[in-house]
Structures are given as structure tokens and as C-alpha cells.
Amino acid sequence: MSAPMSFCPHHADRQATEQCEYCGEFFCADCLATLLKRRYCPACRQRLQTPAAPAPSKPRAPAREGPVLPAWASVLIYMLIFLGAVPVAQMLAAAPLVGLKAAYGVLSLEALVEDPAKVGEAFNALIFEPQGLPMPAYSLGMFIFTFGSLIAVLIPTYIFVRYVDRRPWSTFGFAWSPRVGRDLILGIVLGGLFMGSLYAVGRLAGWYRPQGVAAPLSAMLTVLAAGVILLPYAALEEVVFRGYILQRLRQRHGVAWALGVSSALFGLVHIANPGAQNSALPVLGVLLAGLYLGAAYLLTESLWLPVFLHTAWNLFEGPVFGFPVSGMEVARSVLQTQTVGPTLWTGGKFGPEAGLLLFALMIVHLGLLLALRPWLRPRPSEAV
């Protein structure tokens, strides 16, 4: 069982996510303030600002030091590891999938050497397209790939949280509580509403044409298999961007900077996806999605809702409605949808994230998420 959530001693309804750099106690973000470039709780801040007050002989909390590195340095090194070491681990995680393709005789490496300019595109096809591999074998290989990629990210993240930032892992956002089930349901509902409203508006505008519907059994298997594959990869991105980067920057620079920088980095790492280089809209669209998911974290002080919401977003976008997912075509979908509307509004081959229709709907759905704020706040009685 995961470690229990800790709550702010001054605000019983808020999770304690930040550490006073003097006494070592944990409080919510609103309780700590910056003094001489360090974060202190109200009592320590008052003690340090009182000239006549004698310095305490020792901190109230035993020998718990602050972060080893400044926030910007931690995030920079963490991103370098993410961009450098993690792809190597992902290649290892892809080995079973490549092995399955070789075993079935559908592995083709010619495209990787024919045109050096298209090596990235060919490698994406090698991993993210069945290329004749039976769907059960492809789904198994993709699950191993996405789950292995998640483990490759969790290991350095745990090291940074515990030994670089020197804070308990229980404050990271994966503490178990009864809210997890609620966040699962809410994430599926919000993700389905977002993509469902986008599909409905696009159909009314004549921008999307249905080309077919999968049989009930095939549709159910498609959704289940896709959900199992997409969940670890959504969790991977949430651990990196709404987990470590947003939380570490929030400790030092506040919510606005943390949310903006983490969302911008989230958008920029998708620039290598197919079709993202044609305009700035794909990066901006993914950046907006980062703001939406960041709001889900900040409202709940937990990563569970962003993980489930992110998974549902991708699930309904690709395997259900048949859109490309951030430039990646889906192998199979419940609805076969042809996009015939203007690329400026639909996003074209990159998918809805690059279209102005998603930009407009984001305002509505972000407002809906914010309207749920009183209900999303954790309660002390929910901790286990």
C-alpha cells in the first residue's frame, strides 16, 4: 500500500506538497512564502524576521535538508535524462515488439536505411504500426513497450524526488485513497466529453465524415486493448510534466511559472511527431492540453486525475473516434472517420490538437473543470 497522504496543518483540506527549508515541516503551497530566495512556513518566517529572536539551537525537525540543486538545475538535468537516457531504455522496451514482428515474418528494415531523412518516420512506423502483425500480438508488444517506458521514467524520477529534492515520495501525487476510483470515472467522463463534443461539432460543420463502425465485439476489444496500452504512456508523460517538472518549479517559482513552463516543455517534446513541423499549431495545441492537464493536477493535488484524463483523451481521440493522436495514426478504431474540413480547424493529419476547433473547445472544457473545483479538493477523511 502506498504511503498515506499528508495534509497541511493550517489547511486541513489541502495536501502538504512543499517543505519549509528551515524547520523541514510540510505545508500546502499557499502557506509557504519566499524570504531571501528560500521558502519558509509562517512560524519560521516570523522567527527569522524578528531581530531580537535568538536562533534556535537546532531545527524542530531532525536533519532534513532542503533540495540539493536549485529548481532550474534540477529540471534541466531531469529533462536531459528524459531526452537522452529514456529513449535508449525505450528502444530496449521495444525489443519484444520487434522480435514478434520478426517471428511473424513482417519485420521490414529497408525503410530505415533507404532514405536517411525518413529514419524517424520509419522508426515510428516500426513501433507504432502493426505492419501485418496480428492485433493480439501487436497489443502485447505495445503494452510491454509502454509499460517498460513508464518504468524507465519512474526510476530517475524517484531518485530525483527522494535524493535530489529530498522530499517524501508520498508527496509526489500517487498516494492511494478512495479518490482514485472517483478520479478514474471523472477522467473517463471528461475525456469522453471533450472528444465527443469535438466530434459532434465537426460533424455538424461537415468537417468529419463517418466511413464505418466496428462490430460490437471488435469495438469492445479495440477499446480494452487500447486502454491497456495507452494508460502507461499517459502515466509516463504525467510523471514527467505534471509530476516532477510542475511540482519542482512550483516549489520555488509559484504556480503560474510552473504551469506555463511545464506545459511549454510538454508541447515542445511533441515537435518530433509526424506533421508537427508544418506549423506552430501542433505545439500550441499540445501546450494547451498541458495547461488543461496541469489544472487537473492543481485542483486535486494528485496525479491520478491527470493520468486518467490523459488516457481517456487519447483513447477517445484515436481508438474510438478514429482521429490521429498527435500525429500518430491508430491501427484500429471503433469509428472510421474521414477528415474533410479545413486543416486550420481540424488539424489535418496531425489530429485535433493542431486545429482551432480544439482551441475553442478548450475554453469551454477548462471552464467545466474549474467549476468542479469545490468537489475536487481532497478531504482529510479520504486519506488512508
pLDDT, tens only, 98-140: 888 788 777 666 555 555 545 556 666 667 777 777 888 888 8
DSSP per residue, 118-149: GHHHHHHHHHHS-TT--HHHHHHHHHHHHHHH
Segment 209-261, tens digit of pLDDT: 999 999 999 999 999 999 999 999 999 999 999 999 999 999 888 899 999 99
Nearest to 284 by CA among 297, 271, 299, 301: 271
* Alpha carbon distance 288, 284 (integer Å): 6
Buried b (16+ CB within 10 A) or exposed e, 19-32: bbbbbbbbbbbebb
328, β-bridge pairs? 325
Q: pTM of this prediction?
A: 0.81
Q: What span, in angstroms and rounded, lies between the C-alpha atoms of 339 and 72?
A: 42
Q: Which residue has the higher pLDDT, 21 or 354?
A: 354
